[in-house]
Amino acid sequence: MANKTRTRSTSTIPHGLSREQLLEMYRLVRLTRSLEEKLEVLFKQSKVIGGLFRSLGQEGESVASAFALRRRDDGTGDMLSPLIRNLGSMLTVGAKPVEVVRQYMAKGDSLARGKELNIHITDLDRGFIGQISPLGDLIPVMAGVALTFKQRGQDRVGMVYIGDGATSTGAFHEGVNFAAVQKLPLVVIVENNQWAYSTPSRLMTAAKSFVEKAPGYGMAGEQVDGNDMLAVYGASKRAVERARAGEGPTLIEVMTYRRKGHAQHDAQTYVDPAEIEHWAATNDPIDRYVKALLDNGWATADELTAIGAGIDRELDAAVAEAEQSELPAPEEALTDVYGDGPVNAPWTRHTPPDPTRA
Ligand SMILES: Cc1ncc(C[n+]2csc(CCOP(=O)(O)OP(=O)(O)O)c2C)c(N)n1
Ligand SMILES: [Mg+2]
């Protein structure tokens, strides 16, 4: 008798992916959405310190792009640098839900020990470099990381995310130009979610698309439907292979849509609600991925339900565990300011400033 959990495997899986990898991608995208929903509840309970930036509607591209990287936990894998909406990429390269929740709650045992916000976290072993707030600046930083890989003769690749809005910065230009000239192993993911805070992307550039900037820099470019996870994986895999083969950087423009405001404080009053509804109803990345998995016989509904139930249990446990962690000790505020040593306490001026000489 056929096992109910086995699939019929009717269609060939694209891009050399295995069925296990397809299910793992489903787990990661479902985990991303559910973890953000949990974080939103914690935010409303005033337990999240700092901002919460949802990636609702664009989790698929975040997971599928990072999934194309060589993921290791011993400092030998590829490296990525996320943006505020790349929780999915972070989970894909190995961030754990409990450490993410601790980080958002600014607990003393979080990766940034309560000193940084949301996903501004770094673990070089697992291959992620926390974002820095000035938008665009991570492109030259990651170009530098990729330069190091090249100089050391390592076949490692860097992946950096940037929003449509942040492509208007000088740092974007400098970073991609340097990467192209030096033929660096870098993949630049431009997330065109059609908004930069309240500015629509048509006011961001006079070019018809962001991908058409790639040839101007002499680098490869590809535009992809960002809510089709398999298409994003395919484009990212091609770019990663090109980089690893020494053929230089690629700019991938992922077309997606930000279904929430910039952050929790933004009610999105500048967007027509029908537009958001339309994307939710017809172009949700998880709905589309589930349909592809089921229609092609790559997974059964029972398997997906079981994965979802496992995630719900894992997240309940992660939140309960993070809630137990202590906030940082007050003295912690004096460490990590300059180099390794603590700053001199008390951290105040010894001589009051002379206002006549200001
Ligand atoms: C250089 C710089 N300018 C402005 C900001 C403030 N800011 C933070 S996020 C944001 C919007 C970014 O939009 P986009 O790059 O499209 O990314 P998205 O939020 O859509 O993911 C702005 C203006 C900043 N952090 N850095
Ligand atoms: Mg944007």
* Chain mean pLDDT for the chain: 92
Residues 256, 262, 265: CA angle, nearest 5 degrees: 150
Q: Which of 132, 135, 139, 141 to mutate to test the pocket of ligand 1 (most atoms within 8 A of CB)?
A: 135
pLDDT digits (tens, 9 = 90+) for 286-328: 999 999 999 999 999 999 999 999 999 999 999 999 999 999 9
Q: Is the pLDDT of residue 346 over 60?
A: no
Whole-model pTM: value is 0.92
CATH number at residue 241: 3.40.50.970
| CA 160 – CA 78 distance, rounded (Å) | 11
264 vs 34, 51, 183, 232, 257, CA distance in Å? 16, 7, 39, 27, 17
Q: Specify the pLDDT at position 322.
A: 97
Within-domain flag for 5? no
Q: Which of 65, 193, 197, 254 to mutate to test the pocket of ligand 1 (most atoms within 8 A of CB)?
A: 197
213 Cβ below 6 A of ligand 1: no
pLDDT digits (tens, 9 = 90+) for 22-75: 999 999 999 999 999 999 999 999 999 989 999 999 999 999 999 999 999 999
Higher pLDDT, 4 or 84: 84
Q: Is the pLDDT of residue 201 over 70?
A: yes
267 Cβ partners below 8 Å, 6+ apart?
261
Residues 229-249 have a mean pLDDT of 98
Residue 8 neighbours by CB distance under 10 Å: 10
Within-domain flag for 149? yes
Q: Specify the pLDDT at position 344.
A: 53
Q: Which atom of ligand 1 is nearest to the CA of 197?
A: 11
Could you tell me the pLDDT band of residue 353, with boundaries at 50, 70 and 90? Answer: low
Percent share of the chain, pLDDT over 70? 92
How many DSSP H helices and E strands does the chain contain? 11, 7
Nearest of 15, 11, 9, 5 to residue 228 by alpha carbon: 15
Residue 48 CA to ligand 2 centre (angstroms): 23
In eight-state DSSP terms, residue 183 is T
Q: Starting from the CA of residue 260, give the closest ligand.
A: 1
Q: Which atom of ligand 1 is nearest to the CA of 136?
A: 1
Residue with tokens 């603590």: 342
Q: Is the pLDDT of residue 164 over 90?
A: yes
Q: Specify the pLDDT at position 115.
A: 86
Q: Is the pLDDT of residue 246 over 50?
A: yes
Q: Is the pLDDT of residue 259 over 70?
A: yes
Q: Specify the pLDDT at position 339.
A: 61
Residue 258 CA to ligand 2 centre (angstroms): 7
Within-domain flag for 157? yes
Domain enclosing residue 26, as ranges: 16-263+283-327
Higher pLDDT, 351 or 170: 170
Q: Is the pLDDT of residue 200 over 60?
A: yes
Residues 16, 22, 23: CA angle, nearest 5 degrees: 155
Could you tell me the pLDDT band of residue 336, with boundaries at 50, 70 and 90? Answer: confident
Q: Specify the pLDDT at position 1.
A: 40
Higher pLDDT, 338 or 246: 246
Q: Which of 262, 268, 270 to mutate to test the pocket of ligand 1 (most atoms within 8 A of CB)?
A: 262
Torsion angle in degrees (nearest 10) through CA of 105, 111, 117, 123:
-150
Could you tell me the pLDDT band of residue 131, with boundaries at 50, 70 and 90? Answer: confident
Torsion angle in degrees (nearest 10) through CA of 56, 277, 64, 88:
10
Percent share of the chain, pLDDT over 90? 84
Residue 143 CA to ligand 2 centre (angstroms): 21
258 Cβ below 6 A of ligand 1: yes
State the burial class of residue 121 (Cβ atoms within 10 Å of its Cβ: 0-12, 13-18, 19+): buried
Within-domain flag for 11? no
Within-domain flag for 229? yes
| CA 47 – CA 25 distance, rounded (Å) | 29
Tally of structural domains, the chain: 1
For 15-63, give the DSSP string: GG--HHHHHHHHHHHHHHHHHHHHHHHHHHTT-S-S-----TT-HHHHH
Q: Specify the pLDDT at position 166.
A: 96
3-state helix, strand, coil in the chain (%, to 5): 45, 10, 45
Q: Specify the pLDDT at position 340.
A: 58
Both tokens of 79, joined, read: 């490296």
Within-domain flag for 333? no
Residue 320 neighbours by CB distance under 10 Å: 11
Within-domain flag for 337? no
Q: Which atom of ligand 1 is nearest to the CA of 262?
A: 19
